C-alpha cells in the first residue's frame, strides 16, 4: 500500500497503464510551476491524495504545532492539458484593468 502522494501517483500510473514519465499534477501545482490549464480541459485522472493541516495551539503558555493528515480527492492534469503562462497576461489583467476603470469613470 502506498503511503506518500508520490507513491500513490506512481501506483495509479502502473494500474492504469500510464507511462511513468507522464507528468501528473494538480491545478495548484501546475500554477506554482508557471502553467495554466487550457480552457475547456477536464481532468481525466481523479485520485485520493493526502492533505496535511497544521494548527498552532497554546498549551501551558507555549506555542505547540499540531498537525494531521486526511484524504482528499484531487484532479490531476497532464502536460498536454496545460500551457505556459505568458507574462503580459499577468500585467494586462492586474495593471491595466484598474487604469481602464479609472479612465472610464473619470471622463
- Across the chain, mean pLDDT equals 83
| pTM for the whole structure | 0.69
Rounded Cα distance between 25 and 19, Å, is 14
Average pLDDT over residues 86-104: 57
Rounded Cα distance between 107 and 103, Å, is 6
pLDDT at 23 over 90: yes
Written as nine digits, the cell of 8 is 500513490
Written as nine digits, the cell of 90 is 499577468
**Span 50-93, pLDDT tens digits:** 988 888 888 888 888 888 889 999 999 999 999 998 864 554 45
Give the pLDDT of residue 107.
47
Amino acid at each position: 500500500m502506498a503511503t506518500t502522494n508520490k507513491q500513490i501517483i506512481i501506483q495509479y500510473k502502473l494500474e492504469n497503464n500510464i507511462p511513468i514519465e507522464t507528468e501528473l499534477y494538480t491545478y495548484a501545482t501546475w500554477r506554482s510551476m508557471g502553467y495554466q490549464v487550457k480552457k475547456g480541459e477536464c481532468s481525466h485522472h481523479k485520485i485520493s491524495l493526502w492533505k496535511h493541516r497544521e494548527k498552532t495551539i497554546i498549551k501551558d503558555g507555549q506555542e505547540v504545532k499540531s498537525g494531521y493528515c486526511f484524504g482528499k480527492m484531487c484532479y490531476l492534469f497532464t502536460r498536454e492539458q496545460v500551457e505556459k503562462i505568458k507574462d503580459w497576461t499577468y500585467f494586462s489583467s492586474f495593471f491595466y484593468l484598474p487604469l481602464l476603470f479609472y479612465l472610464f469613470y473619470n471622463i
